[in-house]
Each structure stands twice: as C-alpha cells, then as structure tokens.
Chains A and B, each alone.
Chain A
Amino acid sequence: MLHYRGRAKRVLESLGIQDYDRIRVRRGRLTYEGILIPRPEILDDDHIILKLDNGYNVGISLNGAEIELVKRSSIIKEERAELGRFDPRKPKVPLIVTGGTITSRVEYSTGAVKSYERPEELLDKVPELADIAYVEYVPLFAEFSENLTKDHWTRIAEEVYKMLKGGAEGVIIAHGTDTMHYTAAALSFMLRNLDKPVILVGSQRSIDRPSSDAVLNLIASAKMAAEGEIADVMIVMHGSPSDEFAYAIRGTRARKMHTSRRDAFQPVNEPPLALVSRNSIKVINPRYRRRVKGESHVFLDAKMDDKVALLYVWPGMPAELLSDVADRFNGFVLAGTGLGHTPKWIIPKIKEIVGMGKPVVIASQCLFGRVDLKVYETGRRLLEAGAIPADDMLPEVALVKLMYVLGHTKDMDEVSKMMRANLSFEIGSRISLRDFPPCWGVCNGL
C-alpha cells in the first residue's frame, strides 16, 4: 500500500517503496532515516512524511532529495496487556456501534487510528464497565453522523428492537455527536411502548486521547442502561466541563448546543431527566416512562416519510424559495423567528402549499420557549393560512416527527392532530423559569 499521490507517488513507486517502509533520505546537509508515513490527501504531493526514531514526524521536500529503501515495513506488534472480561451474570447491555470516535484507538508506531474489534477492548480503556454490565458488541455500521439518513435510523431502531426482545436490560448506541439528537428523536417515535432504557452516547474528545470524555460517558451510559429506572430514549453525556457527572437528556428534548465542549448536549424546555455519576443516578425530572422488569413489550413502528424539509427563516427570505422546493417535499418545517413568525410575503405561499395537501409546521429558531401564533397579526395570519404550530418542540424534533407522522397519514387534519399531540414527551405543558441554560447571569451568580 502506498498512500501518496502525484509526484510523490511516482517517485516512491519507482523506488519500490511502500507505506511504513524504513527509508533514508539525503537532503541538504542532513540525512534523515525513519518510517514512511502515509500522507493525508489534503496535503500536497511535493513532500513525504517520515517518522524519525525520536518519534517526531517531519515533512521532507522531494526537491533535491535522494531516497533509498532501508528495510521493508515489518508489522510492529504493539505489546498489549491481557484484556479484562465481562461477567455474563451482570445485566445484559448490548453496545450498538454506528460510528463516531468512541471505539477507536491509536497505533503509536504509525499514528493510525483503528477501530475496536472486540467488546473486551473497551475494558482496556474503561475497565469500570465490567462491574456494571455484560456488554455485547454489535457493530452495525461505521459512519460519521452527518452522513446518516432515515434508513440508518430505521436500521438502528430494528437492531434495538431485536436486542430488547432478546433479553437486553437496556441498549447503548455509540454514535457520532453531530446528529445524535436527530437519531434520538427518531428512535423516540419509532420505538413504541418502550419499557427499557435506550441510550445514545458519543464523545466530544475521541477515545484515543487521554483526556477523552468517552470514559465517563460510557460508564454513565452503562449505569443508566443496566440499573436506571428510566425507560426512555436518552442521550447520556457530560453535564459540565468536569469529569464528574453526566446528564441523561430525553431524546426528544436534547440539542447539541456547542461545537466542541464536553457538555455540548443540553435539554431544551425541560430539565435533564437525571444526573448520573460514577456511583449514583439521581432523577431530576419525574416525567418519564418506567422500566418494566422481565420481558420487553416494545414494538417497532418505523414507518417514515423522509420527504420533509427544514427551512430556516431569515429577514428578506424570498417567497419563491418555497415555491421552488414545494414540489419536492411532502411537508415542511419552518424555523421561524421569535414566537414563530415569517416575513408576511411568505404567508400566501404557505397557504398555497397547505392547499396542495402538504403540511407546514412552524417552530422557532429561538429554540427555548413556545411557539405562539395568536399574539401578533403575523401569527394569526399564519394560522389562517393553515400552518401548524410546533408548540415547544425543537425544530429538529418537529422535522423528525413530521417524517414519522407523514409515514402514517397524509390526511391534513390527522397530521395536524398528531403533530400537536404529545407522542413521546416531545411536547410539554409547562416550562419552568429555571429551564433556560444560556442564562449568563445565573451561571455567573449575578
């Protein structure tokens, strides 16, 4: 194998050199010797990368370089300690792997990131898991979460269903964090009559780093899945920048609110369900489904219509945009401004689309708070046009829910009724004053 392109590829190939071969390069006053490291595609083809014996990588220009092969690559076997074992007497908790960085490790001889192959490898990094659960490893697919579609959600739901029917006490799904909250919402609607915990977990710092948040996230997830009382679809990740506790956040209420922080996932319009530390689970929010002992009576209802669009309203948004896409989708969610508004010239278009038998749901880009179309003229006119308010649902949840609803009915009245009904705690009747995390003053004691 040779991961080089263009000029570098030609030069190396002509010398019969492959990735990880030991080579010598004379250039200028120096003679470098080291292992040839594959070069990432985004970099140019004028340099080669060498890992020197002191561990450092350096890039060497091919201009004036004399290269020779010293030794063929020999697979450097990394010494690995004996791995621990899971105890089959502990609660059975399968770990479904869908991608993300939570099950990868670094091979130091090359710097390559490899995926775990066996569940025991997890114990290498998180030995605490063995005390909590009997973890089975279920590799489903390996995909960055931004590439997931409705079909992936369905496959996950089917796998969870199978696992729960097969006697699992709870299921953990390792997932990339970008769209984890979409998958969580989808599973919340697809898994009906859920009576065991279903946990989505990921990491904001990949598990190959010593400072990875995955360790605490996995421990907390296993704890919730094996011992927790709450039988909902949840995201379990860090509750603060410290490695102290995680929050279990309802799948229909969670949102990734920061690009990189460990505590990026926050509940919107309700408190977290529970605070989970290494040793305890403290329930915060009493609104949840309870775990039922013994056999699971969950059933799968994965019918979805993914011809639904989510559009972000902006000042000056042209009405034609809606006409341009109206034909291609069966339903729309508009993330409106404020209480759920759109520019007035959009409203006739909305009326037109509704008239075509395609539902238009209005959520708010404020995220926090409830859509209310009765307060201002614009809102009232949106209601008249047939728009459906998303109440206190997140725009992304409204999107996934509309896919689910349209998978079941195209009848406009029925759609409206279902969208406004609480199917999976995605809609609440009250929002407490404390349910607003970005409140700067409160965080800073002002």
Chain B
Amino acid sequence: MDYRGLGLKVGLEIHQRLKTHKLFCGCPSHLREDEPHQWVKRKLGVSYSELGAIDPAARFESIRARDFFYGVYHDTTCEVEIDEAPPVPLNREALEISLQIAEMFNMEVVDEVHVMRKIVVDGSNTTGFQRTALVALGGDFSAISTKWGDVRIATLCLEEESAYIVESKPSYAKYRLDRLGIPLVEIATYPDIWHPDQAKEAALKIGRMLRATDRVLRGIGTIRQDINVSIEEGARQEIKGVQELDLIPKIIEREVQRQLNLLKIRDAMRGRGLGEGDFNQSVRDVTHLLVESKSKLVRKALSSGKKALAVRLPGMKGLLGVELQPNRRFGTELSDYAKVFGGVKGILHGDELPGYGISEEKVSAVREELDCQGDDNFVIVLADPDSGKLALQAVLDRVKQALKGVPNETRRALPDGNTSFLRPMPGSARMYPETDILPVITRPYLEVVRSVRVKTPEQVIGELVEGYGLTEELAWELFDSEKDRLFIRAYLENKGLPSRFFASVLTGLMKSLKREGFDVDRISDKHLLDIATLLAKGELAKEAVEEVLKGIAQGKYKDVLQYLREARISDQELERVVDEAINRLEAKIKEKGERAFSAVMGEVMKVVRGKVDGAKVSKLVRRKIKEKLEEVS
C-alpha cells in the first residue's frame, strides 16, 4: 500500500513501569491475584458545567453515574491508594529513573517538575484524576533512527499507574488497588512515523533502551504501547493497550483499511443523497412482533422481561454489512456504540436478517412496523427500555457521523490486529496542579544521574556475546524476550551449562511452544533454572527439554524432577529397546555392517527421545551393533 500517498501519520506513546515502590506512597509495586481484603464503594462527581461541550469522554462516563468498587489489600496498599490520605512526596528513585531515561534519549529535562492532576472519570483512579508530571521535552536532538527515517521523541512524563479493572458493567465497575500508583514513564513521539513497520522498529528501539537501564519492570503488562493513527481525510484514532510489538504493523494496516472503508461508506451515503436529518428517527417497541419468534436469542431475552426496540435507518440497506476490517463490519461498529452507551449485549440489523432464528416473515413485520421502504435498513436491540433507547440513540448518532467520515475515537487493540470502539476521544486534558505535592528542582538529581554510566542496548548485547559465548542474534533475542537476566543467572549458577543451547531454549523453543498453543505461562523461571541445573549436571538430556516444557505447560508435570522420575528410561529398559531394534534390523546390519548405525539409532530414538541422553544411546547402539556383527560372523 502507498502509505505516503495516503498521508499515514503515526505517533507512539510508550508506557513503562519502573522498578521502585509506588510513586506517592511507600507501598511496594506488588501486583496481586488474590481476592482483596475489603471493598470500598465510591461515586465520582464531576460537575456538569465543567463537562459542558468540552469533554465528551468525561461527560459520557458521568452520564452513566456509575458506582465504583475498589479492592483494598491491607498488607500492600494504604490510605493513599484509597484516597483517604494525601500523597507523600514524589518517589525520588522514580524521579531519578525517569531522568536517567530522559538522558538516554538526549532529551531536555525541565528545571522544576510540577505534578499535575489530569481528570480521569472512568473510575480507574480513586481520586478521579491521574497524577502526572512532565519531566523532559525533546526535539530534533532526541530522535530515534529507523530504516524509514527519524522519529523524534516529544515528551517524557512520570505518572502513576491506574487501578486494575476487574469487572465493568454499565451500572458499576470494580477495580483492584494493587496496581494503582506504580510509577511509570510515558514516552511520546511526534507523529513522524509514516510506515507500519517503522512504528514497530521505533517501539522496539525505545523498549530496548528502557530495558538497558535495568531499572524498569519486566514481564507481561509492564510495557504497553498506545498508537495514534490517522490518514488524510480520515481522523486521528488513539489505539490503546498494544502489548505485543509484532502486532503493531498489523494494527496500523488494519486501521488504515478501516478508515478507507469508512470513507467509502461516507461516499455511498452521500451518493444515495442521505443527510443527517434522515437519522432523526424515533425508537419503536416491536416486542409484540417478535413474541412468537423461534429465535432462541429473542425468546431468552423476552422471557427475562426485556423488550425488543427497533429503529429505521433510511437508505442504509447493504451498508451495515460492509466489511471494515476482516470479520468486522460497519454493523459491528454500531454494535460497539450500542454496547458502550446503552450497556446492551449487541444489536441485530437488517443486513444480517433473516438469521439468528428470526424468520423472513418476522423481518417483514418489523420492516412494515417501522415503515421501511426499498433500501431502508433497521436495527433491533433486546434490552430493558431505558438501556435500549440509549443504545439505539448511540447507533443513530454513529450513523450520522458516518456521513462526515471517520470520527475521532479511542479504540481498544484486539488480539487479531483489529480494534474496537472504547470511547470518544477526550478533548484536551483537564489538568490542574496537584497542590498536595511540592514541585521538585531537578538539578541535584540530574547530577546524580549523570554520574552513573548507563549502558546502551548495544553494550548490553556486546557483554552477552563476549561473556557468555552467544551469537549476536541469540543475544538480541534473549534481550528482546526479556530473558537475558534469567540466562545470566542460570549461567553463573551452573558451571558447564551448554549456554547457546540453553539460550535457544529460552528464546526459540519458548516462542515456538507458545505459537503451537502451549500454555507457556505455566512455565516459571524456577522451572527454567532447574532445567539449566540438570542440563549442566548431565542429568537431563538436551533432547528431553522440549518434552519437559510441553509437559509442564500441559500441567502433566509440576516440576522437572517429576519428569525425571516418571519419564526417564532406566539403563535396563534402554538396553532392551536397543536389543529389540537390532533384532528387527538384523538383515540390514548383516548387509551394511556398521553403516547401519543411523538406521538403528533412528529406530531407538523414536522410543526414547527426550528420556535419555543421545550420546549415551549412540554409545550403546555402536557397542550392540559391534556385538551383533561379531555374533553373526
């Protein structure tokens, strides 16, 4: 695709958690999986006038007047996270780390850091605002170079992580407080990126520099990318929560595709002479037309007291079925709006009906009730009347926007590279000073930071290659998969570890197991370290490693020792297997002599692969062949 011609502009926002305690209290940056000890219920009040026409995102949240529940852990969260006490002064270590990062990117650090409150009313912060501070600014002097050209770093902010969302319903949301307050840096680039692959390369390079400091957290969720994408004639989209770098180009390609298709829909609507006024439609109750429907979906909804509400979409026939991204149609976008604004489960529309067990006859009845003519379309929701009306109103509003083209939205990245609607893009952030925190003059901290030498990613790789006998490629793979620390530890703790082999286990093998669908989350660092120990001692065969890991991923073994107990073949057993193979291949051995080795070996390994050291097998096979030959001669 001609991305230059399309005017593709992409900017990145990279969020990286820092390796230190929380930003505004002394609690550890400790994530929890267990049930919180106590739940606190809160409301968030933002005054309506403040929201006015200025901040649609905030208004839309407040319209829902939701309850927010916050899960408290008495041992690892305190009064600060639950907003029962003012914040303590900014975590100095976090400030130091962020200054160090700013220096790495050759940014200009501000003289005095001021903590701000950025209003966030989705409940993800107990205070109703996120505390954030601009630490450094960039320009031409702070660019990342890529194959497609430079990408300038614009800003570096130090901010607090939000609370972890456990459950979200239109009427309430539940959050856990373990994550709230963990320090993170947000690094934003200028929209200098014009090619999807360039975005990945820039993100990769930024991520590598962050990791090279060794003062950032690692692992799932500790770094995430937001991507801002726009094309000429389209509109800027903020795509949230991309955790895998490999997905970045695909997400951008698909977003371009989506915007181009939305522009086609716009042109089609204009071509059909449609205008905004056509979509001031009233919502009708069509429950009575569907009561006897054979559709399970409909019957289940109606029997639980819900209503069927419908609205006419004049001139829209065929357009709701238009595919925007693979398997996402314009109808899916409308459905997103209905879900988000009305809290309904989804919509049914004319381009997919008859279907879902709803007959032609019922469809005709609905069309007739709504006065649908020729190429008119319609949308049905099954919901309680209040939610249903909100949902259909949101659908009508979204169709009106389609006449203009692409609306500005905040979207969520989906695992397949598509995106779904999350909320309208907020207006300019409402920020005001955090009066509970005094500004910090950066100079003394900057002096400390400058006195410490920080390695570049290239230096880290150089050390891996020289110190541990790795190839450069393997070293980068280790570093990029965040396994370099683990590797070094295994190497130092286990003399005689086959280092390249073990490095390839940590990188290539783990990756391929994941690709094959194994649950690699079950494989812990402890498992991998045990493997290193046993490999070094010669108690585990290289060939066995794959089987051990698969077994652990499947829950078959709880640890490596269990595998050794259950799966290892005894010397006697091995001898029996070799003898059997030799007997089976007797003719071949007689014919080829010692050159039959590989055939016999192949036969034996079929049975014992991974259960015994290959070298040991080959020794035994050679001896047995020799014996056999002596025996027959």
Residues in chain A within 8 A of chain B (CB atoms)? 27-30, 32, 37, 42-43, 47, 49, 52, 54-61, 78-81, 83, 105-106, 108, 111, 124-127, 205, 209-212, 215-216, 240-244, 259-262
Q: Which 4 A-B pairs have the closest CB atoms?
A: A210-B128, A59-B112, A55-B431, A56-B134
A336 to chain B, nearest CB (A): 31
Contact between chains at A261 and B85 (CB < 8 Å): yes
- Across the interface, name the chain B residue whose C-beta is closest to A206: B435
Residues from chain A with a CB closer than 8 A to the CB of B85 are: 259-261
- Across the interface, name the chain B residue whose C-beta is closest to A260: B85
Among A37, A58, A215, find the residue whose CB has the most chain B CB atoms closer than 10 A. Answer: A58
Contact between chains at A28 and B134 (CB < 8 Å): no
In-complex Cβ contact of A210 among B45, B49, B86 (8 A) = B45
Measured as residues with beta carbon below 8 angstroms from the partner, the interface class of chain B is: 35 or more
Contact between chains at B118 and A55 (CB < 8 Å): yes
What is the CA–CA distance of A52 and B431 in the complex, to the nearest angstrom? 11
- 6 residue pairs A–B, Cβ–Cβ below 8 Å: A58-B110, A209-B127, A211-B44, A211-B126, A241-B82, A242-B42
- Across the interface, name the chain A residue whose C-beta is closest to B132: A56
Question: Does any Cβ of A come within 8 Å of B111's Cβ?
Answer: yes
Contact between chains at A29 and B432 (CB < 8 Å): no
Given contacts A42-B438, A47-B112, A60-B112, 16 further A-B contacts (CB under 8 A): A43-B439, A55-B428, A59-B110, A79-B52, A81-B52, A108-B432, A111-B433, A124-B50, A209-B127, A211-B44, A211-B83, A211-B127, A215-B45, A240-B40, A241-B82, A260-B84
Residues from chain A with a CB closer than 8 A to the CB of B628 are: none
Contact between chains at A210 and B113 (CB < 8 Å): no
Question: Does any Cβ of A come within 8 Å of B155's Cβ?
Answer: yes
What is the CA–CA distance of A105 and B121 in the complex, to the nearest angstrom? 17
B355 to chain A, nearest CB (A): 43
Residues from chain A with a CB closer than 8 A to the CB of B48 are: 81, 124, 127
Contact between chains at A52 and B83 (CB < 8 Å): no
Residues from chain B with a CB closer than 8 A to the CB of A59 are: 110-114, 439, 441
Residues from chain A with a CB closer than 8 A to the CB of B432 are: 106, 108, 111
Contact between chains at A108 and B111 (CB < 8 Å): no
Report if A242-B40 is in contact (Cβ < 8 Å); known contacts: A260-B86, A262-B84.
yes
B156 to chain A, nearest CB (A): 11
What is the CA–CA distance of A259 and B85 in the complex, to the nearest angstrom? 8
Contact between chains at A212 and B45 (CB < 8 Å): yes
B49 to chain A, nearest CB (A): 4
Report if A54-B155 is in contact (Cβ < 8 Å); known contacts: A210-B127, A261-B85.
yes
What is the CA–CA distance of A58 and B46 in the complex, to the nearest angstrom? 26
A154 to chain B, nearest CB (A): 32
In-complex Cβ contact of B114 among A27, A32, A58, A105 (8 A) = A58
Residues 49-86 of B, flagged 1 when their CB comes within 8 A of A and 0 if not, give 11111100000000000000000000000010011111
Contact between chains at B49 and A124 (CB < 8 Å): yes
Contact between chains at B47 and A124 (CB < 8 Å): yes
Within 8 A of A (CB), among B242-283: none
In-complex Cβ contact of B112 among A42, A58, A209, A210 (8 A) = A58
In-complex Cβ contact of B116 among A55, A78, A127, A240 (8 A) = A55
What is the CA–CA distance of A29 and B155 in the complex, to the nearest angstrom? 14
What is the CA–CA distance of A330 and B50 in the complex, to the nearest angstrom? 52
Question: Does any Cβ of A come within 8 Å of B43's Cβ?
Answer: yes
What is the CA–CA distance of A42 and B438 in the complex, to the nearest angstrom? 10
What is the CA–CA distance of A52 and B41 in the complex, to the nearest angstrom? 36
What is the CA–CA distance of A244 and B68 in the complex, to the nearest angstrom? 11
Contact between chains at B43 and A56 (CB < 8 Å): no
What is the CA–CA distance of A80 and B40 in the complex, to the nearest angstrom? 32
What is the CA–CA distance of A27 and B110 in the complex, to the nearest angstrom? 10
Within 8 A of A (CB), among B104-157: 108, 110-114, 116-119, 121, 126-129, 132-134, 137, 139, 141, 155, 157
Question: Does any Cβ of A come within 8 Å of B31's Cβ?
Answer: no
- Across the interface, name the chain B residue whose C-beta is closest to A262: B84
Question: Does any Cβ of A come within 8 Å of B448's Cβ?
Answer: no
Contact between chains at B128 and A211 (CB < 8 Å): yes
Within 8 A of A (CB), among B344-386: none
Question: Does any Cβ of A come within 8 Å of B414's Cβ?
Answer: no
What is the CA–CA distance of A127 and B50 in the complex, to the nearest angstrom? 14
Residues from chain A with a CB closer than 8 A to the CB of B86 are: 260
Residues from chain B with a CB closer than 8 A to the CB of A212 are: 45
Question: Does any Cβ of A come within 8 Å of B429's Cβ?
Answer: yes
A203 to chain B, nearest CB (A): 11
Question: Does any Cβ of A come within 8 Å of B284's Cβ?
Answer: no
Report if A80-B112 is in contact (Cβ < 8 Å); known contacts: A210-B44, A211-B126.
no
In-complex Cβ contact of B110 among A60, A78, A244, A260 (8 A) = A60
A38 to chain B, nearest CB (A): 11
Residues from chain B with a CB closer than 8 A to the CB of A80 are: 49-50, 52
What is the CA–CA distance of A79 and B127 in the complex, to the nearest angstrom? 24
What is the CA–CA distance of A47 and B112 in the complex, to the nearest angstrom? 8
- Across the interface, name the chain A residue whose C-beta is closest to B429: A55
Question: Does any Cβ of A come within 8 Å of B527's Cβ?
Answer: no
Question: Does any Cβ of A come within 8 Å of B430's Cβ?
Answer: yes
Contact between chains at A209 and B128 (CB < 8 Å): yes
Contact between chains at A126 and B45 (CB < 8 Å): yes
A56 to chain B, nearest CB (A): 4
Report if A261-B79 is in contact (Cβ < 8 Å); known contacts: A59-B439, A209-B127.
yes
What is the CA–CA distance of A380 and B586 in the complex, to the nearest angstrom? 113
Residues from chain B with a CB closer than 8 A to the CB of A52 are: 134
A189 to chain B, nearest CB (A): 32
What is the CA–CA distance of A205 and B157 in the complex, to the nearest angstrom? 26
What is the CA–CA distance of A205 and B82 in the complex, to the nearest angstrom? 12
Contact between chains at A56 and B119 (CB < 8 Å): no
Contact between chains at B49 and A30 (CB < 8 Å): no
Contact between chains at B42 and A211 (CB < 8 Å): yes
Contact between chains at B441 and A243 (CB < 8 Å): no
Residues from chain B with a CB closer than 8 A to the CB of A242 are: 40-42
What is the CA–CA distance of A52 and B154 in the complex, to the nearest angstrom? 13
What is the CA–CA distance of A242 and B126 in the complex, to the nearest angstrom? 11
Contact between chains at A243 and B52 (CB < 8 Å): no
Within 8 A of A (CB), among B426-458: 428-433, 438-439, 441
- Across the interface, name the chain B residue whose C-beta is closest to A80: B49
B46 to chain A, nearest CB (A): 5
In-complex Cβ contact of A108 among B50, B127, B157 (8 A) = B50
Within 8 A of A (CB), among B16-47: 40-47
Residues from chain B with a CB closer than 8 A to the CB of A56 are: 114, 116, 132-134, 157, 431
A43 to chain B, nearest CB (A): 7
In-complex Cβ contact of B111 among A37, A47, A57, A259 (8 A) = A47
Residues 555-580 of B, flagged 1 when their CB comes within 8 A of A and 0 if not, give 00000000000000000000000000
In-complex Cβ contact of B137 among A30, A37, A49, A209 (8 A) = A30
Residues from chain B with a CB closer than 8 A to the CB of A210 are: 44-46, 119, 121, 127-129
Residues from chain B with a CB closer than 8 A to the CB of A127 are: 48
What is the CA–CA distance of A43 and B53 in the complex, to the nearest angstrom? 36
What is the CA–CA distance of A28 and B117 in the complex, to the nearest angstrom? 27
- Across the interface, name the chain A residue whose C-beta is closest to B428: A55
Residues from chain A with a CB closer than 8 A to the CB of B83 are: 205, 211
A185 to chain B, nearest CB (A): 26
What is the CA–CA distance of A154 and B497 in the complex, to the nearest angstrom? 84
- Across the interface, name the chain B residue whose C-beta is closest to A112: B432
Contact between chains at B84 and A241 (CB < 8 Å): yes
B118 to chain A, nearest CB (A): 7
Residues from chain A with a CB closer than 8 A to the CB of B431 are: 55-56, 108, 111
